[in-house]
């Protein structure tokens, strides 16, 4: 009798995420199998990037060194992670820092991985994804995540967010703003609470009208508040009550100074920013009329891992964002498909010579589909309008560098090559971005007459940055030849070579 064949288990993927927060840096390494994470390594350190921002919005050298030292300790945990399975994301402090690129370039060299600064609402989406996976099935939830420089608010059901917002208030920035001299008084606490209530006024009505059944908090401030309140016997474990929060506020005021805070359940390295975090949390309870909130373990880094696991699959959240843009701005689907098809054919011919990869092919295809969205605003300068929309829209799933890549490609797809915008890009991506833009420009020209079917891509060869394009006789070769001769002139002005060769 033969034994039944056991069904094959899905392959295990080793994923890693590093969260460069405004207060703390966190590392999470996990195995992903059967839609679940099994944690392999977890590390966290207080770096307090937000505290290192001066009045001009510049990170000081000491803070950057502190950040790099932390990342050097994280590096051994991710050195064996496969390419594409590690994401490093930066949040509010790196969004605000005028010189964030200086730190990013040094950190990328250390980790050998690109660093993505994510927008506030994208941060909120990822936080919700992480928290939702950590929670049992339930109804509509309010998720609140108090960070070092911002606080994220999400209402959602299951794994789908319904409202996302990121407000500029956090435990580090509010410490600098209201407790800079180290004193804790009722007046200072109330000023911090009123400032938070002012921020919350922008979303209070919308969120309360949507409603929720389960208020949940994530990350350090909420976790610490729940631990301290429970240790004092004022609430069950993992729960914050209105009464317990009020008693905690009074205890903090009695401490009088930040350097005198010592409470059971509170880690010493969080003590200095704890009163500001409690002020924000108190304002949340006040604005939303909460009686209690429970703590959930999942947060941004877990959300990053779950999001990464779904990337480049039908569940990729970026695909939904792009489809929404196409519908919103009335993209000509046939023309978008024709340009994308031609761009893919050109890409395939130079892929090996230019060392291009699947991810770059994906972005070239997406830019091809979106290159005309600016027409919804005006035909004049529509490439500029399209670039603006792509760079400044809230696109779920996309990091800021990814949105800037799409925006640059759309900006560069016609007329003069935008050398100023190109040279403003990080040096590490200038060459690859220019190469993709040159392919898109050619694909658009090949389909200039807006044919029924994609234009056949001519033979294309690359030698370094020089391109050679072989032209075959067609129904109306002069129109295409005129366009390509002008394109050769545009590329030459930008320092590139596009040679046109007539096929027999």
**Cα distances (Å, whole numbers) of residue 72 to 76, 85, 94, 106, 185:** 8, 19, 18, 11, 39
Do 318 and 367 form a contact (C-beta atoms < 8 A)?
no
Residues 111 and 55 in one domain: yes
Residues 289 and 328 in one domain: no
Predicted local distance difference test score (pLDDT) of residue 317: 85
pLDDT along the chain (504 residues), means of 10: 50 91 94 87 92 91 96 95 92 93 94 91 92 81 94 92 95 94 96 97 96 91 95 92 96 96 93 96 97 90 91 82 93 96 96 95 96 94 95 88 94 95 90 96 94 91 94 66 92 94 74
Position 34 in a domain: yes
Predicted local distance difference test score (pLDDT) of residue 473: 60
What CATH number corresponds to the domain at position 100? 3.30.420.40
The pTM of the full predicted model, rounded to 2 decimals, is 0.82
Predicted local distance difference test score (pLDDT) of residue 427: 87
Question: Last residue of a domain, which of 117, 152, 173?
Answer: 117
Question: Last residue of a domain, which of 117, 146, 179?
Answer: 117
**Cα distances (Å, whole numbers) of residue 90 to 6, 134, 216, 436, 449:** 43, 22, 23, 26, 43
Q: What is the pLDDT of residues 133-176, one digit of tens each?
A: 888 667 899 999 999 999 999 999 988 899 999 999 999 999 99
Residues 62 and 187 in one domain: no
Q: What is the pLDDT of residues 61-79, one digit of tens each?
A: 999 999 999 999 999 999 9
Residues 289 and 233 in one domain: yes
Residues 146 and 165 in one domain: yes
Q: How do strand 13-20 and strand 86-90 relate by DSSP bridges? A: parallel
Residues 249 and 214 in one domain: yes
- Alpha-carbon torsion angle 172, 287, 133, 298, nearest 10: 20
Phi, psi of 360 (to 5 degrees): -65, -35
State the DSSP string of 229-261. HHHTTSS-TTEEEHHHHHHHHHHHHHH-BGGG-
Residues 219 and 178 in one domain: yes
Predicted local distance difference test score (pLDDT) of residue 474: 54
Q: Which domain holds residue 249?
A: 121-300
Residues 148 and 163 in one domain: yes
Residues 69 and 167 in one domain: no
Number of domains in the chain: 3
What CATH number corresponds to the domain at position 392? 1.10.3210.10
Residues 137 and 255 in one domain: yes
Residues 270 and 344 in one domain: no
Distance CA 71, CA 84 (A): 18
Question: Last residue of a domain, which of 277, 300, 323?
Answer: 300
Position 484 in a domain: no
Assigned token pair, 382: 């529509």
Residues 152 and 261 in one domain: yes
Predicted local distance difference test score (pLDDT) of residue 481: 85
Position 246 in a domain: yes
Assigned token pair, 283: 């304002």
């Amino acid at each position: 009798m033969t034994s039944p064949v056991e069904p094959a288990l899905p392959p295990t993927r080793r994923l890693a995420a590093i969260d460069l927060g405004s207060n703390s840096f966190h590392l999470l390494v996990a195995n992903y199998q059967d839609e679940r994470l099994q944690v392999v390594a977890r590390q966290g350190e207080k770096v307090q990037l937000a505290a290192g921002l001066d009045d001009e919005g510049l990170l000081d050298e000491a803070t950057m060194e502190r950040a790099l030292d932390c990342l050097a300790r994280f590096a051994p945990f991710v050195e064996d992670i496969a390419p594409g399975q590690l994401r490093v994301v930066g949040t509010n402090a790196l969004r605000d820092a005028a010189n964030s690129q200086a730190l990013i370039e040094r950190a990328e060299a250390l980790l050998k991985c690109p660093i993505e600064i994510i927008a506030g609402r994208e941060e909120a989406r990822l936080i919700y994804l992480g928290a939702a996976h950590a929670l049992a099935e339930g109804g509509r939830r309010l998720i609140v995540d108090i960070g070092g420089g911002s606080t994220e608010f999400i209402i959602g059901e299951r794994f789908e967010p319904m409202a996302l917002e990121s407000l500029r208030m956090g435990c580090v920035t509010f410490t600098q703003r209201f407790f800079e001299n180290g004193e804790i008084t009722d007046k200072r606490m109330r000023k911090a609470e009123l400032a938070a209530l002012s921020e919350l006024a922008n979303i209070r009505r919308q969120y309360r009208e949507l409603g929720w059944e389960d208020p949940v908090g994530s990350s350090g401030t909420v976790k610490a508040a729940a631990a301290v309140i429970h240790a004092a016997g004022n609430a069950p474990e993992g729960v914050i009550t209105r009464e317990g929060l009020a008693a905690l506020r009074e205890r903090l005021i009695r401490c009088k100074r930040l350097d005198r805070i010592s409470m059971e359940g509170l880690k010493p390295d969080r003590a200095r920013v704890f009163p500001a975090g409690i002020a924000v949390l108190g304002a949340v309870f006040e604005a939303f009329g909460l009686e209690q909130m429970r703590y959930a373990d999942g947060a941004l880094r877990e959300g990053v891992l779950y999001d990464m696991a779904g990337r480049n699959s039908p569940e990729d959240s970026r695909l939904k964002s792009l489809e929404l843009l196409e519908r919103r701005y009335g993209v000509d689907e046939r023309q978008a498909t024709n340009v994308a098809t031609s761009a893919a054919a050109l890409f395939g011919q130079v892929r090996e010579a230019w060392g291009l990869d699947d991810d770059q092919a994906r972005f070239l295809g997406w830019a091809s589909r979106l290159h005309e969205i600016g027409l919804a605003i005006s035909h004049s300068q529509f490439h500029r309008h399209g670039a603006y929309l792509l760079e400044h829209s809230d696109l779920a799933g996309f990091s800021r560098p990814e949105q800037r890549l799409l925006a640059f490609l759309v900006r560069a797809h016609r007329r003069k090559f935008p050398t100023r915008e190109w040279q403003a890009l990080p040096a590490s991506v200038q060459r690859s971005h220019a190469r993709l833009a040159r392919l898109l420009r050619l694909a658009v020209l090949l389909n200039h007459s807006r044919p029924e079917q994609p234009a056949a891509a001519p033979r294309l060869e690359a030698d370094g940055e020089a391109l050679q394009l072989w032209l075959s006789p067609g129904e109306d070769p002069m129109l295409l030849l005129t366009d390509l001769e002008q394109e050769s002139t545009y590329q030459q002005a930008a320092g590139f070579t596009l040679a046109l060769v007539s096929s027999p």
